[in-house]
Chain A
Amino acid sequence: MSKTILEMRNIDKSFFNVKVLDGVHFDLQAGEVHALIGENGAGKSTLMKIMMGIYHKDSGDILIDGQEVHFQNPRDALQAGIAMIPQELNPILDMEVAEYIFIGREITKNSAGGLSIVDHKAQVIETSRLFESAGIDINPRALMRTLSVSQSQLVEIMKAISLSSKVIIMDEPTSAITYREVETLFEQIRILKSRGIGVVFISHKLDEIFRIADRITVLRDGSWIGTDDSANLDKDRIIKMMVGREIKEVYPKQEVRPGEVLMQVRGLSWKDKFKDISFDLKRGEILGIGGLVGAGRSELVETIFGINKPDSGEVIINGLRQNITHPRHAIRSKVALITEDRGSQGLNLKTTVQENVSIVQLNRLAKNGIINNRSEAAAVEKQITKLSIKTLSRKSMIKSLSGGNQQKVVLAKWLLTEPDIIILDEPTRGIDVGAKRDIYLLIGELAQAGKAILIISSEIPELIGLADRIIVLAGGKLTGEISRDRFSQEEIMIYASKFEVEHE
């Protein structure tokens, strides 16, 4: 009988009166790998953040080795033997590996508080011993900067071990590493198991989960759906558990008969982000791009738009091969991109609604380079009315608007260019239901007006509700195309988690 090291019972958590965790259970045995899975927003990371003391539970119990604990901050959790390896590693790049392992608890030659002298040699020796015991071949004196993502990950794991952690949480540890590196990671996880350490493994990749996990817990919409031995489960059942709900009629889908092909993408590749992508986009068609975070979807549309320069392949619009190496070329070819991140890519937050809406079209609102104030004001006012943007005036600072209205400003700015091809990357992320519906309606209208629409969304119901056709990317490759009559969440998830085994 293995022993339970960690137990979370009936965990509830709300943010601003919205329940994000509702009576969730989770437990971990010594020497076990327990996978935690669910869609984006299912509550996985909130649960782990509560375990780490980053958030505080509203109610429920957390027990470690049978003792109830109340973590106030991550340091409490670390001291209790819980370590987390985040998805985005954030090491101190200019430190040596050994220094990094012992950061905050340096081995010193004397004890003079903050003025103690660091025994660098002892740290290096200690690190070497640690690495040797795990069969890891990393120089303790190398700079963190010089390590690959997977090496940094191993360093984090070693650091956790050296803190004598009993529980190690890994948040999507395989999202940024190669196939071979996954093998090394799994090897380390097996060593952790043999030492009696419990591992919480968060991932979207079902194949990997079945290879490494002993048990699986599924969350959906903040609720605990089930926990079982992975031997008793299969992919189809898990996907059903994850997706579960019915798609509500929140998607006002208008029937449009797609016209002629407007854009052809042929064999497009860029770095290791995506490879050999080909698809067609027709007038009046809404083409969805499905896939998991990191599948290369944003990079693909950014490349079509000229933000990245493709390594190979071509984009053909209206039968003409385009040479798009800067967004201004794409704009000239009547392409618009509503980027994923409003704050960092879509808007200039330091200025007004008006200046954000008009910036792309300024040349058309100016004569000899001098802006015609009246045309600008008229154009902006028209967009504000058309998209029902809630703002005090066109001269209000963009920051004073709600997220949904800021997103409408991004749409307004691009619709002002009268594009033929509209690419939307996660257009409804983080905005309220009302604004979402406005945006869905708008997308439908645009398709009816003969625009070709390419939409990325991580919310599968949204894609199913909006699109005429969905292509799915996984690991930078196009793994499937689904027509509207075959749409189902399961189908999309199967393609999205299809990671081809890639041997270098």
Chain B
Amino acid sequence: MRSSLPLFPEQASTFAERVDALYYYLLSVSGFFVLLIFALIFYFAVKYRRRSEGEQTPPILGSIPLEVAWIVIPFILVMIMFVWGASLYFTAFSPPANAMEIFVIGKQWMWKVQHPEGRREIDELHVPVGYPVKLTITSQDVIHSFYIPAFRIKMDAVPGRYTSIWFEASKTGTFHLFCAEYCGTAHAGMGGRVVVMKPSEYEQWLRTGAPEESLVAAGGRLFQQLGCSGCHSQNSIARAPLLDGVYGKPVPLQSGQVVLADESYIRDSILLPQKDVVAGYAPVMPSFQGRISEEELMQIIAYIRFLGEEGPEPRKTTR
């Protein structure tokens, strides 16, 4: 049971401990300066209170050494804040290679979550304790923000692009899940809970509920159904780049640029195929804008990524 007047949030991820350590550093620096300024003001205001109307004050104009001191010392202290904070920030956006990936889609006003094995949930996120989890996040309407205070992580869900952040839950339990970016009428109700389970319980949880195909399987099925495989395959007549092993690799474009084939690139290639045409290919691919949902996009991306991991060595895409 939570206390009725909590003053400090629960610490339920490895990141939370590190954020709190930095927070304590800032609290002590701030506390020191607040006390210093308040003490000086009180002391001066009392000691030098006006005793008579005609009092003269000394013509003190300033002091260069003092000015230098109160520029340099605070500067050093804030640079520590900067470097420390930046290193945490880098950590939060550099998931370990073995992180399991969970897809999150925000919409007015719910969170839709897909686990790689195919289990889906709404306004809840079940994760195993002690495992790194990478969230890949997008929105199908306005901007939302996926926020788990107990983990000290938050990431905006932006329509039209993918964002990501990762965490490793450090204790089991149930924690708040909020939407932190104002998104319309029921913004305050857009949230739910994060359930951190023992790995064995998580395995069990994944298997309960209606059996669903895994993301990769669903993506593969869509790849056939939507006709992608008609062109993007070894034995097709139409010439389209093969997608085996393309994920995570640099792709040379018709424009001469080279882009990294990440989630956003694949997404753009499906919805806005004329935007980044691969070098050596004609811009003939039709747009799937409006014909494919955010969930399906994430499934296809999962499938293309799977091709990257499992597929044959990438074939030369240039002539």
Partners in one complex: no
